Structure 1
Amino acid sequence: MKDILRKRILVTGGAGFIGSHLCERLLAQDHDVICVDNFFTGRKANIAHLIGNPFFEVLRHDVCFPLYVEVDEIYNLACPASPIHYQHDPVQTTKTSVHGAINMLGLAKRTGAKILQASTSEVYGDPTLHPQPESYWGNVNPVGSRACYDEGKRCAETLFFDYRRQYDMPIKVARIFNTYGPRMHPHDGRVVSNFIMQALEGEAITLYGDGSQSRSFCYVDDMVEGLMRLMATGHEVTGPINLGNPGEFTMRELAEQVLALTDSDSRLEQHPLPEDDPKQRQPDTRLANELLGWQATTTLAEGLPRTVEYFRNLLAQVEGK
């Protein structure tokens, strides 16, 4: 019976931060998992503990090129997700979002697989509506330095819904808000990893603007649960659905919590705000509550210490070599 229920599931970006946790959860549910990653930002260390599992397979592959495998479900997470990484090669970032979506949708169409797109809260840009519901069309600068990611993800959503309308395909679109936890890249430039690494290494904590801009932080275990619940819904549920923790914190509040947890003497150092940096970001998660029975349950006070401990151990390993 177990083999009958076992699905073949493809996770693109499977060696990344969220992707590796998703692969782990899917394996725990007795599925065959194919992890696809080109290892630009994904890390082999994130999935090293899964190697050797007979139901886990790793393919080094760039989703900008077609992939020919037989699968039942596809989670399309492949794309650099932090400004440092997606602005490093903006043309390639746009290609990954757009060509990657086209190739994965083509694979889903051929195999009849259900497919989920990991979209982002960045589709809302610098929002003029707070909190942001799925019905909000956003405030995005289409020619700014962040547009390669913001508009790439918006175009991917367009493709998913056009495939739905044209081919009646079973699609799911999740708009992921700021997520944190173990296996974040230590140098991805995201605020949580930035603050923790700077505090642990005794460097000045980089605070952009006056630190009053806000974010809502979702622990990675909650995010993975939300993605899996969305994938498990029927044909009528497509999204887009916001997934995130509506608890809102200013950057200054986050920095102060990190300093307290790390017992660091690092000082706060203010810098100018980056171009098009959102002033506020908070998900309206009522749709996820209603359709998925999902809400984030891990508070920042619970998840942040686990994340600090992960980075502390990571630094200890590096220093011990």
Structure 2
Amino acid sequence: MFFGGGEEKPKGKTVVLLDVGSGSVAAALVQLLPEHQPKIFGALRKSLPLAHSVSAPALARAVASAAREALNHTSAVAARIRGHDKLSHVGEVARADIFLSPPWTTLEDNWQHEEALTAPLAVAVEEYFGEIPASLHPFGRALASVSNSIFPEEKTLIAVVNGEVTELLLVHNGNIVGRATTPLGHHLLLRTLRAHGGFTEAEARSALLVQPSHIEESLSSTAAHFTREFRDVARDLLADPSAGGPARSVYVVAHEPAGEWFAKALGGEALQDLFPEGGMVRALRAHHLTPYVGAHARPDLFLMLQTIFVDLPAGRQVAAS
């Protein structure tokens, strides 16, 4: 029985992603396939310990340690695949793409990265994957690059909620036209539950995953506090004449399911104040990205966005720099 011309399918290439935030670190392998969805596999995300107070040096040490754990897992997956006769090419890692969120990256005239952290990250990548090319990317810039594919509006305000920092990006046609940060992230919820709800850190993390009704009262004042901070920062961004006109939508990018909590917190009085003529706020969910990425059973929103970025033609990646 004849099924085709016997030509070998294009094999593509495999890259390793390293997602570096202020609340967790993740590593994953991505198979980039010509004319097919990229595929994520071998992923591991490590949460950073919840400190009573935030110290940049201590946070950097925790990030470096978590990065090594994640890279160790991912490199082991690649090594196992290289031992498979028919799939050995999938385990050959061509390059590393490292994505940095605040406070590890800043935007003044140009993007700047925290060298005290990026240097040990580069050493770790080489230790686990050998001498492969490695590139640093601000996560905000990468998100702006893929925004035209994901968000239907030409201009939108994106709130990227990480562990200790929330980054606000005003994006117009794939370009960042305004940016600000606020030192509040989803660790604010964990600290509130630990301090006022009687939860341990592990119990607080579990409670946020299922979001039972009994934690709503404990978090009500936290929601109001986050909303006030967000509104003040966003108002300045939207009022900047260089931003080029109004935006009437807010998208929250946060590790699920916390994104829904933050979207709900921002969906009331704060939104009316920012968008008196009407607007919307919603959380970006992993299932919104499934048309673009093939992911494992527990999809990771940040890794999926980064995968879409590395799968872009190089010219489109540079456009938002």
Same fold per superposition (TM over 0.5): no
Structure with a larger share of its residues in strand:
2
TM-score for the superposition, normalised by structure 1: 0.32
Q: With the length of structure 2 as denominator, give the TM-score of the two structures.
A: 0.32
| Structure number, greater radius of gyration | 2
